């Protein structure tokens, strides 16, 4: 795709984040969408493209009263919204639509109007994973991590530091769920969930949502906010079964999507001012740093433990506090995108000074899917 041909011109989260017992899941979508439309200074009737995940595009379009000529229901887990940005940019470039709304919301905590997730017993997951006691993401997502640690020489303390550093960022974000400082000892003494991971290495469970509005860069300058351009994009999927990943030393979906985005953007790693790596669990930033090519996997744990990603470090990472400390309603990719957009607008609570390029990398399922978006505020 052409660099900087499409821009984010509207971005907002739900009015509240955290525990929202007075809204159903589709109303959370609508709340985020209406906030994003107001942020862009648009009317609902200006939207001619819609993308969403888990909930169907028809559900959200009908509820909002939108009459789209382009829809995308790609639903590959928490990075679906990265893929929506990529697909929307291509669609706008191709002239299929002019103004796309992407929504996410999940009543992850309050469970109001939330669609049930189930694994049929005759699916491959149902036959070859469910019988062995997997029960929700905490029992599945960390399965690769002991192998990763052994192969690359990563320590428990280094992975605990991921949670410690992100809490430092969360402390700077008024809307973050968890702001109290924590230590490596706190992490390693917290309640065991699925060895080797304890509760402070697992994402939060919250309610909330977010929405983005994209249009062509030519039109973007006429909007009230500073345009945030889509510089590069990548996507891939691997397998819905964590046990069937090619290797646990790395994620194939990550190392496909990430480099695609860097190549499209035409940038080097040293050009990156701000980085978001979807952290449903504490090992994901390590996989991301390695698979996106920032450094060999052997160095990822030490890099974080040495403080290079904390406030004031040379590679600010997950500056909202991440899924571990900011919020995680079930599909966190949208919140990572929101933070990249805030950073590129210069309006983030923990603003990285003079940041011009932000890389936003998402995961879907248990390493099942991946999407990478590179943003810039300079055309």
Partner 1 sequence: MAEPARARPKPTPETQHFWDGTAAGELRLQRCDACANVYFPPRPFCPSCASRKVSIFKASGKGTLYSYVINHRPAAPGFTPPYAIAVVELEEGPRMMSNIVDCPQTPEALELDMKLEVAFEKLDDKITLPLFRPAKG
Residues that bind partner 1 (CB under 8 A): 119-122, 124, 126-136, 138-140, 142-147, 150, 191-197, 241-244, 248
CB 163 within 8 A of CB 200: yes
User: How far, in Å, are 63, 138, 180, 182, 322 from residue 336 at the CA level?
Assistant: 25, 20, 21, 22, 7
Cβ 4 vs Cβ 227: under 8 Å: no
Rounded least distance, CB 111 to partner 1, Å:
15
Burial class of 69 by CB neighbour count within 10 A (0 to 12, 13 to 18, 19+): exposed
The set of residues, in sequence order, having a beta carbon less than 8 Å from that of 90 and lying 6+ positions away, is 1
d(CA 244, CA 265): 31
In this structure, the chain runs to a length of 379
- Whole-angstrom CA distances from 72 to 57, 230, 238, 243, 253 are 7, 18, 20, 29, 20
Query: Which candidate, 158, 204, 198, 159, places its Cα nearest to that of 179?
Result: 204
**Exposure class string for 204-226: b at 16+ Cβ within 10 A, else e:** bbbbbbbbbbbbbbeebeebebb
The distance of closest approach from Cβ of residue 377 to partner 1 in the complex, given in angstroms and rounded to an integer, is 41
Neighbours of 27 (CB within 10 A): 18
The helix-helix angle for 333-345 and 80-94 (nearest 10°) equals 60
């Amino acid at each position: 795709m052409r660099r900087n041909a499409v821009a984010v011109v509207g971005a907002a989260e739900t009015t509240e984040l955290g525990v929202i017992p007075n809204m159903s899941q589709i109303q959370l979508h609508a709340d985020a969408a209406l906030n994003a439309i107001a942020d862009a200074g648009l009317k609902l009737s200006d939207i001619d493209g819609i993308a969403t995940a888990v909930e169907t595009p028809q559900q959200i379009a009908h509820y909002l009263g939108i009459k789209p000529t382009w829809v995308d229901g790609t639903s590959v887990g928490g990075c679906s919204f990265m893929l929506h940005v990529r697909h929307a940019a291509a669609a706008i470039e191709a002239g299929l639509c002019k103004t796309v709304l992407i929504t996410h919301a999940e009543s992850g905590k309050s469970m109001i109007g939330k669609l049930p997730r189930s694994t049929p017993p005759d699916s491959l997951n149902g036959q070859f994973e469910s019988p062995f006691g997997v029960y929700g993401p905490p029992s599945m997502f960390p399965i690769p991590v002991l192998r990763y640690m052994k192969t690359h020489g990563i320590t428990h303390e280094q992975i605990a530091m991921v949670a410690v550093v992100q809490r430092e960022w969360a402390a700077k974000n008024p809307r973050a769920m968890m702001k109290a400082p924590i230590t490596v000892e706190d992490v390693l003494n917290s309640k065991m969930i699925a060895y080797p991971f304890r509760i402070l290495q697992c994402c939060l469970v919250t309610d909330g949502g977010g929405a983005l509005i994209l249009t062509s860069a030519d039109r973007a300058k006429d909007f009230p906010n500073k345009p945030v351009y889509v510089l590069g994009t990548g996507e891939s999927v691997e397998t819905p079964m964590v046990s069937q990943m090619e290797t646990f030393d790395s994620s194939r979906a990550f190392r496909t999507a990430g480099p695609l985005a860097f190549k499209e953007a035409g940038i080097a790693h040293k050009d990156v001012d701000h980085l978001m790596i979807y952290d449903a669990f504490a090992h994901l930033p390590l996989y991301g740093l390695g698979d996106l090519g920032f450094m060999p996997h052997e160095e990822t744990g030490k890099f974080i433990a040495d403080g290079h990603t904390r406030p004031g470090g040379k590679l600010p990472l997950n500056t909202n506090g991440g899924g571990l400390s900011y919020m995680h309603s079930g599909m966190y990719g949208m919140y990572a995108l929101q933070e990249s957009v805030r950073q590129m607008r210069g309006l983030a609570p923990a603003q990285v000074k003079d940041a011009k390029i932000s890389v936003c990398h998402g995961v879907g399922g248990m390493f099942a899917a991946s999407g990478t978006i590179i943003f810039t505020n300079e055309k």
